[in-house]
Amino acid sequence: MKIRREYVEPRPYNKLVGIPFSEVEINDKFWRSRQKLNGDISVFKLYDKLEEYHQIDNFRVAAGKKEGLHLGEFYYDSDLYKWLEGACRIYLLNKDDNLKRIIDSLVNLIEKSQLSDGYINTYFSTKFPEKRFKNLLILHELYCCGHLIQTAIAHYNATKSKKLLNVAQRFADLLIEVFLNEKIKDAPGHPEIEMALIELSQTTKNLEYLKLAEHFILMRGNIPHYRRYAIKNLINMKKTLELAVELDNQYYRDNNISEVPKSEVAEFFEDLKAKELLHLFIENLNGKMYQHKTPIREETEPVGHCVRATYFYTGVAELYAETGDESLLTALESIWQKMVEGRMYITGGIGSIRGTEGFQKDFKLKPENSYSETCAAIGNIMWNWELLKITGKCEYADLIEKLLYNAFLVGQSIEGSEYFYENKLVSNGEDERKIWYKCACCPTNFIRFIPSLGKYVYSLSEQGIWIHQYIGSRVGFDLEDNTKFNLFQKTGFPWKGNNQITISLDNPKEFSLFFRIPKWSKKTQILVNDEPFKKEPIPGSYLEIKRKWVNNDKIDIDFEMIPRLLKGDRRNKSIRNKVAITYGPLIYCMEQIDNEDFDIFEARFSEKTELTTELNPNLIEGLVIIRGELKSGKKFKAIPYFSWCNRGSTKMQVWHKIK
């Protein structure tokens, strides 16, 4: 289907073409209310935290607007960039003048922090100018730069001003000079800049940025004498962090501040068990942690730190979409298969060990060890989105749905002001979301993701329009022959399986609509203009309906959404004799607060228990709850996993014993 807009992503090896989120109007209660909360409340609350934790002051110092010193961790610049990217995306949707004023002031500040050669990083430029580009493995210099680039693109898209884009390009040009032209054999330890550079190349049409991204991607696994390189970087990190603490302490003494905050990095290490520390050390030395163990073309399994991994795989997928290098896609497909078979939790969460915050071997997925960082869910959505556009395969859109409603959504409280960093599948009642973390990657990632939701709902191909997610929305385009086209989607998701799609066209037009038939829907009923559609829908595939569409044509599509008990995979010892409750795209959990007459950890489920659903409009945000009976005869009540811990801390579990 050809449309008359310049925004269509020209990626030569993608089967599907993405539609920018700003072109998709989300209007259902479930998601629209979250977008509104995000733009009205969450984004401003997090801005206050950026002020409190020095992220903004660090730029004031670097820009010469304030006396002082960079305070906090070496990755703090990325928090500000991610917040700003979120703010720009929100502004594109709601045109909030208050937000625009903050955006403008931050953009000015970033511009003034840039050194004459293009470099920006407030940690290095104010504390260690002589150390820049000396420790790409650990100190997040290019990770921060990647977020600057993505933020600059978001700012340009939201305002059409090239001010921040020019800043980002000047930095990227410096990187080309330093790393590409000099053929430096190094690559950042936290992927991010790869996808950012590919997106910058696409935005500016400058292929040098694509080449630099390719250089960083293919350098992994090919760094000479990697172990020596890792040790050198670890020693450099230790010295740099010690020196930073000395500088910070001197600053606090000079300013008569007695309460010196403890370093997040130090706290993180102190908190680790011996086994986790050992695992972290081994993965540092073999390179798995940083995606440095194996060249991507030879990789077959997901390894290392999960956020690093998914950001890297997203960049690799984007590189494939630009170059068509089949070896990259083969590797990604193998990694993906391994991940979903044995290295991913039922919620879509990944990461089953602290320390590396990473993948382990197959089926080492204890519910109590579920790290499932919120950022890893976001990274996984981004990666699956790229794979979906490349292949048009339903399994990637199915996984995006699972991630959205479970591993991602659990990351924020219903009030939109508190966040989980790790997402356990069982809690002893001591867990709670927090408004901020010293390592604040997850809150800022959450608020930058929410406005972008629209881009995951639809895409285009030459044959027509693909409906990937069932989210109430409208999307419209002018087709190449000037026909005006609109598609309206109404849905009962995630509580009911009914959907209605209506077409608005000012001229009849032949094309296809592709509907995702979720794998969990065993029976699907489809009516086209109230007449049953003859082709049998296959779960886990796209159903194509091709016809000459006319104005007001409608399609009713009803997925079978019933509660089910899912038995744990026998290969995973920790859930072998357990069951979990699923309902359509949702995973359910039990909270102790709803089940006061028994201990949820001791409850025994009967596999034959009859599960019933009930809409409770007064519970949390209004939820479908699931009821059933235990072997003991006691009745239980379960709620969606994403909504747990919204009534205070309480015991919770996803997997329930049957023996």
Residues of this chain that interact with Zn ion (CB under 5 A) are 373, 375, 441-442
Q: For Zn ion, give the closer residue by CB, 124 or 311.
A: 311
- Beta pairing class for 563-567 and 554-559: unpaired
Question: Can you tell me whether residue 585 is helix, strand or coil?
Answer: coil
Residues ≥6 apart with Cβ < 8 Å to 319: 194, 198, 210, 213, 214, 217, 325, 328
Report CA-CA distances (Å) from 337 to 198, 300, 362, 378: 25, 9, 12, 18
CB of 18 to Zn ion, least distance (A): 24
Q: For Zn ion, give the closer residue by CB, 325 or 373.
A: 373
CB of 134 to Zn ion, least distance (A): 26
The span from the CA of 623 to the CA of 610, in Å, is 19
CB of 478 to Zn ion, least distance (A): 40
Q: For Zn ion, give the closer residue by CB, 287 or 351.
A: 351
CB of 442 to Zn ion, least distance (A): 4
CB of 614 to Zn ion, least distance (A): 35
- Structure tokens given for 255: 């300013």
Query: By CB neighbour count within 10 A (0-12 exposed, 13-18 middle, 19+ buried), where does 253 fall?
Result: exposed
Distance of CA 335 to the CA centre of its chain: 18
- Structure tokens given for 303: 């390894």
Q: For Zn ion, give the closer residue by CB, 165 or 375.
A: 375
Q: For Zn ion, give the closer residue by CB, 349 or 518.
A: 349
Contact predicate 583/400, CB 8 Å: no
CB of 411 to Zn ion, least distance (A): 9
CB of 445 to Zn ion, least distance (A): 6
Q: For Zn ion, give the closer residue by CB, 375 or 453.
A: 375
Residues ≥6 apart with Cβ < 8 Å to 579: 565, 566, 567, 568, 605, 607, 655, 656, 658
CB of 286 to Zn ion, least distance (A): 24
Residue type, 475: V
In the chain, the largest separation of any two C-alpha atoms, in whole Å, equals 79
Q: For Zn ion, give the closer residue by CB, 442 or 593.
A: 442
Torsion from C-alpha of 43, 44, 50, 51, nearest 10 degrees: 170
- By beta carbon distance, the residue nearest Zn ion is 375
CB of 313 to Zn ion, least distance (A): 17
Instruction: Point out which residues pair with 583 in neighbouring strands.
Output: 563, 586
- Beta pairing class for 586-591 and 578-583: antiparallel
Report CA-CA distances (Å) from 604 to 319, 322, 633, 657: 49, 52, 10, 5
* Backbone Cα Rg of the chain: 25
The span from the CA of 166 to the CA of 146, in Å, is 14
Instruction: Point out which residues pair with 586 in neighbouring strands.
Output: 583
CB of 412 to Zn ion, least distance (A): 12
CB of 599 to Zn ion, least distance (A): 32
Q: For Zn ion, give the closer residue by CB, 3 or 441.
A: 441
Q: For Zn ion, give the closer residue by CB, 389 or 448.
A: 448
The span from the CA of 238 to the CA of 346, in Å, is 38
The span from the CA of 16 to the CA of 36, in Å, is 29
CB of 78 to Zn ion, least distance (A): 10
Query: Which DSSP letter does residue 116 get?
Result: T
Give the Cβ contact number of residue 264 at 10 Å. Answer: 16
Q: For Zn ion, give the closer residue by CB, 382 or 638.
A: 382
Q: For Zn ion, give the closer residue by CB, 311 or 641.
A: 311
Q: For Zn ion, give the closer residue by CB, 18 or 443.
A: 443
Residues ≥6 apart with Cβ < 8 Å to 324: 12, 13
The span from the CA of 577 to the CA of 278, in Å, is 30
